[in-house]
Amino acid sequence: MPEAISQSFVMVGAREVLALMPGAVHIERQVVALEGAVNENPALAFDLAKTLIESVCKTLLRDRGHPVGDDLELPQLFRETLANVRMVPDTHTASTEVRNSLRKTLGGLFTVVQGVCELRNTEGFASHGKYGYVLPLDSVQALLVARAADAVVHFLFAAHKSYPSTSLARRLSYIEHEKLNALIDEANESIEIFDLTYRPSEVLFSVDPEAYRDLLARFAELEEGYEQEAQPAATQDHQ
């Protein structure tokens, strides 16, 4: 086995978050355990990285009055968190170029989270039972995942603290708008990346929440219009 990359790996971003979350003992224990696992038990680092991101997402959503159940998988939980955390300040009018750049960046973060989940499922120490003589990955890969989780956690919490005024009207929930999701999916082809397939509605919700919000508003207006057109006809038939 290669020598450990670092004898004193520290999650700088996560520890900055902890400094602003006094009393968050559960998250603090996860951070400490992940720091130690990178070199002492690399396979366990994959489990802990996923768990840490989940804990932070659930904490931020609860702080914003949008708690979620324990049945959501991390990718969906991460989408819900992004949808409820503002990406730019109210005073900033994001140009098309800025929105495109943010969309690409958020898409990259979602890919990171997806990768952490997949590594945890295949290489995690505590996720699934494995063949007794299987050789685990090394600290090199564990460090990559730990640093990625550190960056994601820090970004989410920084956005959460910087823009605390997100209103109820601005909150989004992918699972609550299945009619719109079905419409998006019917009008667009599925997105395939290697052997993975994604719903177009999921991709739009994840990488460009504002565009999804705009479609949702237009969809609501169309539905209201259809209902108003149907009412006179129903009244006439009744008469």
Instruction: Label residue 169 exposed, middle or buried (CB < 10 Å: 0-12, 13-18, 19+).
Output: exposed
Label the pairing between strands 191-193 and 196-198.
Answer: antiparallel
> pLDDT digits over 84-95, tens only?
887 776 666 556
| Alpha carbon distance 154, 12 (integer Å) | 9
**Considering the chain, what is the average pLDDT of its residues?**
80
Which pLDDT does position 195 carry in this prediction? 86
Average pLDDT of span 199-222: 81
pLDDT tens-digit profile of 104-161?
888 888 889 998 998 888 877 766 656 454 556 788 999 999 999 999 999 999 888 8
Average pLDDT (56-80) is 87
pLDDT score at 168: 40
With cut-offs at 50, 70 and 90, classify the pLDDT of residue 52: very high
